Amino acid sequence: MRNRIVLQGIRQTFEDGGSERVILNELDLEVAEGELVAIMGPSGSGKSTFLSIAGALLEPQQGQVLLDGKSITGKESKDIAEIRLRNIGFIFQSANLIPYLKVEEQLILVAKLAGVDKSEASKRATVLLDTLALSARRTAYPDKLSGGERQRVAIARALMNDPAVLLADEPTASLDADRGHDVVSLIEKQAKEQRKSAVMVTHDERILSLCDRVLYLENGKLNAK
Q: Tell me how many residues contact ligand ADP (CB under 6 A).
A: 10
> Which partner from the list ligand ADP, Mg ion, none does 4 bind, CB cut-off 5 to 8 Å by kind?
none
Separation CA 164–CA 199 (nearest Å): 11
Residue 48 binding Mg ion, by CB under 5 A: yes
Binding mask 28-67 for ligand ADP (x = CB under 6 A): -------------x-xxxxxxx------------------
Nearer to ligand ADP, 16 or 143 (CB): 16
* 16 bridge partner residues: 19
Query: Smallest gap, in angstroms, from Cβ of residue 224 to ligand ADP?
Result: 18
Query: Smallest gap, in angstroms, from Cβ of residue 111 to ligand ADP?
Result: 30
Residue 73 binding ligand ADP, by CB under 6 A: no
HEC letters along the chain: CCEEEEEEEEEEEEEECCEEEEEEEEEEEEEECCCEEEEECCCCCCHHHHHHHHCCCCCCCEEEEEECCEECCCCCHHHHHHHHHHHEEEECCCCCCCCCCCHHHHHHHHHHHCCCCHHHHHHHHHHHHHHCCCHHHCCCCHHHCCHHHHHHHHHHHHHCCCCCEEEEECCCCCCCHHHHHHHHHHHHHHHHHCCCEEEEECCCHHHHHHCCEEEEEECCEEEEC
Nearer to ligand ADP, 45 or 190 (CB): 45
> Which partner from the list Mg ion, ligand ADP, none does 25 bind, CB cut-off 5 to 8 Å by kind?
none
> Which partner from the list Mg ion, ligand ADP, none does 171 bind, CB cut-off 5 to 8 Å by kind?
none
Nearer to ligand ADP, 129 or 207 (CB): 207
> Which partner from the list Mg ion, ligand ADP, none does 163 bind, CB cut-off 5 to 8 Å by kind?
none
> Which partner from the list Mg ion, ligand ADP, none does 44 bind, CB cut-off 5 to 8 Å by kind?
ligand ADP
For 175, counting Cβ atoms within 10 Å of its Cβ (0-12 exposed, 13-18 middle, 19+ buried), the class is buried
> Which partner from the list Mg ion, ligand ADP, none does 41 bind, CB cut-off 5 to 8 Å by kind?
ligand ADP
Would you tell me which residues interact with ligand ADP (CB under 6 A)? 14, 23, 41, 43-49
Instruction: By CB under 5 A, name the binding residues for Mg ion.
Output: 47-48
